[in-house]
Amino acid sequence: ESKLICISEYEINVGSSGCGKSTIIQLLERFYNVTEGEILFDDMNINEININSLRSHIGLVSQQPILFSMTIAENIQYGLQNFTFDEIINAAKKANIHNFIQQLPQGYETYIGIKGNQLSGGEKQRIAIARAMIRNLN
């Protein structure tokens, strides 16, 4: 059994292996069409929402997130422009990684190595969560 849990504006998809978590994500992002029933997003059928607009409201963080050979700040704002340092910090705080980053000698300017090899799995995930969250700040 797979469950989609809504916590305020965030949703968590949990379940055992093979229970349909990936299928739910693929349906939410409209990689596939729903053949029975409907999926609602803000009380609107997702098939009636512009696909680019829909996907811009969805942030996906996998169990093994992809990070790049850049600084922590660059990884958080990866693929985006015009974000202030305060917005990067705000996203990191929401992802519960800000205090860890502050303890590093170079803080947000810390180079994380190839694929983030300088970080633990949990730290990588929290940076990826901050990256997903910063997209919804503007």
Quote the pLDDT of residue 88: 95
* Arithmetic mean of pLDDT, 24-48: 83
Between 26 and 109, whose confidence is greater?
109
Domain count, the chain: 2
Count, residues in the chain: 138
Q: Give per-residue pLDDT as tens, 98-121.
A: 999 999 999 999 999 888 888 998
Would the pTM count as exceeding 0.85? no
Residue 9 has pLDDT above 60, yes or no: no
Whether residue 100 is contained in a domain is answered as: yes
Whether 83 is in a domain gets the answer: yes
Please give the residue range of the domain that contains residue 21: 2-56
78-101 per-position pLDDT tens digit:
988 888 999 999 999 999 999 999
3-state SS track over the chain: CEEEEEECCEEEEEECCCCCHHHHHHHHCCCCCCCCCCCEECCEEHHHCCHHHHHHCCCCCCCCCCCCCCEHHHHHCCCCCCCCHHHHHHHHHHCCCHHHHHHCCCHHHCECCHHHCCCCHHHHHHHHHHHHHHCCCC
Residue 66 lies in a domain: no
Does any domain span residue 65?
A: no
Indicate whether 67 belongs to any domain: no
